[in-house]
Amino acid sequence: GAMTIAVVTKPFPFEGSKNMRNADDAIDRLKDVADAVIVISNRNVLKIIPDDLSLEASFQVIDEIVNQVVLSIVHMLTKRGISTADFADVRSVLRGGGIALIGMGFGSGERAAKDAAMAAMTSPLLDSTLNEATGILVNIVGGKSLSLQKIDEALRVIQNNSDQNANIVMSAHLNNEYPADSVSITLLATSFKKDVITRNIRDYIAESPA
């Protein structure tokens, strides 16, 4: 009954096409032994790192993204809150899902939930459109003002931009360290209808040095 989830980062384009192909081969092998392989594109991480950020701090950003992905899944299963997904729900999305991609978003104020949902769906880390995925995990974290109405608003935005038959599993909880009117959303999209990774590999190689 165990479920195996792998989290990997892909090379930067400047690391060359050979490394890109090696990463592609490794992910293909990993898919054979893991229920889901969460792929974080370092090319896309570059889009969210400020140009003046130091090398050390930039790698800390990547580490924090990986940490956030793992914590989101763990919190969905273990953290009691407004809504908690059970193991069977999470497994129904991830088991046999193949490649999984992530999106992260943040919002504050009156439209916090909607803005966080839109930001997560358009996140540079989400290397595909959400409507190409047929399995989606949604982890919502908010300050003390997070309400059922705001959760509903966020889910409606995600549902309206997803495949109509997508299996969407959600969890939501409060974090007292958040400002009262803020919301963060982490999406984990999997079971893609198209081979988005192969398509993205071609893009990687095209912009990488030989």
Query: What average pLDDT score do residues 195-210 get?
Result: 52
Strand stretches in the chain, DSSP E? 5-10, 36-41, 98-108, 133-142, 167-174, 182-192
Cα–Cα distance for residue pair 189/132, rounded to 1 Å: 9
Q: What is the reported pLDDT for 147?
A: 92
Checking if the pLDDT of 205 tops 50, the result is no
Q: Can you tell me whether residue 14 is helix, strand or coil? A: helix
Task: Give the HSE-up count for residue 10: Cα atoms under 13 Å, Cβ half-sphere.
Answer: 34
> What are 116-164's pLDDT values in tens digits?
999 999 988 887 788 888 899 999 999 999 999 999 999 999 999 998 8
CA dihedral 198, 131, 35, 93 (to 10 degrees): 180
98-108 and 182-192 strand pairing: antiparallel
What is the rounded distance in angstroms from the CA atom of residue 68 to the CA atom of residue 81? 18
The mean of the pLDDT values for the chain is 85
pLDDT at 85 over 50: yes
pLDDT band at 108 (very low <50, low <70, confident <90, very high): very high
Cα separation, 68 vs 185, whole angstroms: 11
Region of 171 on the Ramachandran plot (φ > 0 left; ψ -120 to 50 alpha; else beta): beta
End-to-end Cα separation, the chain, in angstroms? 44
Residues above pLDDT 70, as percent of the chain: 91
User: Is 0.85 surpassed by the pTM of this model?
Assistant: no
